Structure 1
Amino acid sequence: MPGPVLRRRGFLSATAGLAAALTLAACGDGTETARPAAGSSAPAGQGWSFTDDRGKKLELAQPPAKIVAQVGSAAALWDFGVRPVAVFGPHKLKDGAKDPQAGNVDIAKVEGLGNVWDEFNVEKYISLQPELLVSSMYVKDTLWYVPEKSKDTIEQIAPTAGIMLTGKSATEVIGTYEELAASLGADMRGVPEAKARMEAATKQLAQFKDLKILLMSGGPDQMWVVNPPEYPDIVHLTAAGLDVVTPSKVDEGGFFQTLSWENADTYDADVILYDTRTQSLKPEEMLKKPTFAKLPAVEAGQLYPWRAEVPFSYQGYAAFLEELVANLKKARPLG
């Protein structure tokens, strides 16, 4: 997934200065239930503490209620019942519609502090009098979508919590968001049911162990083959029994291997899962690349979506895995 200084819109690298190509897109399960704002169910006057993935212990006199979050973190927290007052990162498409990455967040009810890489309205952030900022991390100590140029100012305004993604499984990341949400007083409505759905769908993945699966993203001049260990969702899939292609040589940063479209046939696969993020090429665009169009999986119609930035919540993963199971049931080994 990503790294610092990255315009990450696709595969982000953990190396500063490495630019990435694609915008993230995720998909929640579309359900919305009335839940209290963060902190509303926490006992009044009780102290609050949370240790984030930087090993940083955050302590306040009471649970923070005014929370600002990077859109991926906002989507995860929203499903646990936390309602941020503002988001930053890709949450609105060019036509004004909600970016799928925002999951179930009601973008009409939150402030937007920035929608693209390196955009963060510090003045508006200060005016909101935030009590906590939450963001994911692809590189330890680097909060995703918090601009380097204004990082110091932003971190002086309110405590910040960083949730690490790289090198972890989806269940670990979801568990951290669950812990944070619980500490903030969220009521967790719907969580047990969603967790059961996620677990049931996960168990079904083992039946597809005979399928060789390649996950990729496409750009105008090249394609990227993902490196499974760096992605929480793919770590989850491989742990559940899926056989996912691991590139033999990854780019600097470790997140993926870049190939020209002429070399799209470098790896054999029965199934190809394509990145659905906003600026990744759509299937009809990739099919115009002759080498890609002739791949056995493509010719067999075994080309299915990869929801590369699913919210780290049980709701988000239940929907993602159920869709994947339904698609893989249509596939067959091609060897």
Structure 2
Amino acid sequence: MSGAQPWGFTDDRGTELGAARVPRRVIAYVRAGAALCDLGVTPVAVYGSGHDGQVLDPAKEGGLRAAGVTYLGPGRSLDEALLRELRPDVIVDVTYDGKSPYALDEAVAERAGVPLVALSVGNELRLPAILDRFGALAVSLGAVRSDAGADAAGSAAGLRAAEDTLREAAGRSGLAVLALSGAGPDQVHLARPQAWPELARLAELGVRLVEPGPGPGANWLTTDWGRATELRPGLVLFDDRGHATAPDEALSGVPSMPWNPETPPSPAAYARFFRGLAEALAS
């Protein structure tokens, strides 16, 4: 695809975006940027969310650091002069509500005169649809779609192979899996599986996910660690992002594995997660 060709893309807010040529200089929210990097589009720079600090969270970096991508700090405090100096052709964010970009004020992009693409990662879409949308964006930006071989990094076939492995492991295991995010010694957020596209996909693949029970919160039930232990999980998926805390000592005897609730929406990233969970269920 030549950079001189006209470019157009409709994002998941229904916003139609266009440019006189294919965008080459991409700045993105770190989750979106890590996905694009997996898909063959290396951003010029990425920015974080309100949870992030001035250093790129290792749990979120994916292949960004290895690719030498600059991290600009949290999007809400982004230096607009620096943004303009980087001369982006397009900004890519995510949206959870189908209306607003998650990590950057859209007015920042408007003042810079840069189109902003927001792709949905909320539970109105199933995980395969989310991955398809990021793949379509990457192709529009010049990436070559590849599905060569079950072991090809980043390919849809590689993801299907990982799903098959997980389905088999889940069928043999039967362990009850609880996904959570630690919020200090007195509080924990327990994930509601159907509110998270990747957890809903795990359920479709046969993983036995623990429902936290009634209470406030659409995505999480916020409670104390005692409630987590009462649910008697056989395996804990714990949020390993920088702002989350490690599982409570009461769960120290329960097998666990790290989970990034902001896994990059790419086949390669989810294949790694699914293979890791398959190994945890089999051990």
Task: Sort the TM-score into its range (normalised by shorter chain).
Answer: 0.7 to 0.9
| Corresponding residue number in structure 2 for 1:201 | 162
- Residues 1:80 and 2:33 are matched in the alignment: no
Alpha-carbon separation, structure 1, partners of 2:259 and 2:201: 14
Shift of 1:238: 1.1
The equivalences for 1:15-26 within 5 A come to: none
- Structure 2 contact 57–242 (Cα < 8 Å) conserved: no
| Corresponding residue number in structure 1 for 2:13 | 54
Q: Which amino acid in 1 is paired with 2:116?
A: T
| Corresponding residue number in structure 2 for 1:133 | 91
The equivalences for 1:115-130 within 5 A come to: 115-116=73-74, 118-130=76-88
Which of 169, 172, 176 is residue 133 of structure 2 equivalent to?
176
What SS does the corresponding residue of 2:77 show, helix, strand or coil?
Answer: coil
- Structure 1 contact 250–256 (Cα < 8 Å) conserved: no
- Residues 1:164 and 2:120 are matched in the alignment: yes
**TM-score, structure 1 length as denominator?**
0.74
* Structure 1: gaps spanning 5 or more residues: 1-41, 331-335
What SS does the corresponding residue of 2:60 show, helix, strand or coil?
Answer: helix
For residues 54 and 70 of structure 1, do their structure 2 counterparts lie closer, same or farther at Cα, with a shift above 3 Å needed? same
Alpha-carbon separation, structure 1, partners of 2:102 and 2:132: 19
For residues 65 and 272 of structure 1, do their structure 2 counterparts lie closer, same or farther at Cα, with a shift above 3 Å needed? same
Q: Which amino acid in 2 is paired with 1:240?
A: L
Which of 235, 249, 264 is residue 214 of structure 2 equivalent to?
249
Q: CA-to-partner distance for each residue in 1:70-111, whole Å, 9 max, x for gaps?
A: 011000000111121121106xx9896762302101377333
Alpha-carbon separation, structure 1, partners of 2:257 and 2:3: 48
| Corresponding residue number in structure 2 for 1:240 | 205
Q: Which amino acid in 1 is paired with 2:276?
A: E
Q: Which amino acid in 2 is paired with 1:213?
A: V
Q: CA-to-partner distance for each residue in 1:120-151, whole Å, 9 max, x for gaps?
A: 1111112222211101111222212114xxx3
| Corresponding residue number in structure 2 for 1:109 | 68
| Corresponding residue number in structure 1 for 2:194 | 229
Q: Percent same amino acid at aligned positions?
A: 27
Shift of 1:158: 0.7
Number of residue-to-residue matches in the alignment: 271
Alpha-carbon separation, structure 2, partners of 1:322 and 1:219: 27
For residues 200 and 222 of structure 1, do their structure 2 counterparts lie closer, same or farther at Cα, with a shift above 3 Å needed? same
Alpha-carbon separation, structure 2, partners of 1:328 and 1:223: 23
What SS does the corresponding residue of 1:134 show, helix, strand or coil?
Answer: strand
For residues 257 and 94 of structure 1, do their structure 2 counterparts lie closer, same or farther at Cα, with a shift above 3 Å needed? closer
Root mean square deviation of aligned Cα? 2.4
Shift of 1:256: 0.4
Alpha-carbon separation, structure 1, partners of 2:126 and 2:270: 12
Alpha-carbon separation, structure 1, partners of 2:90 and 2:242: 29
Q: CA-to-partner distance for each residue in 1:146-196, whole Å, 9 max, x for gaps?
A: 14xxx3232342111001111123222111111001011113468762322
Which fold has the larger relative contact order, with Cα–Cα distance below 8 Å and residues 6 or more apart in sequence? 1
The equivalences for 1:318-329 within 5 A come to: 318-329=271-282
Shift of 1:118: 2.6
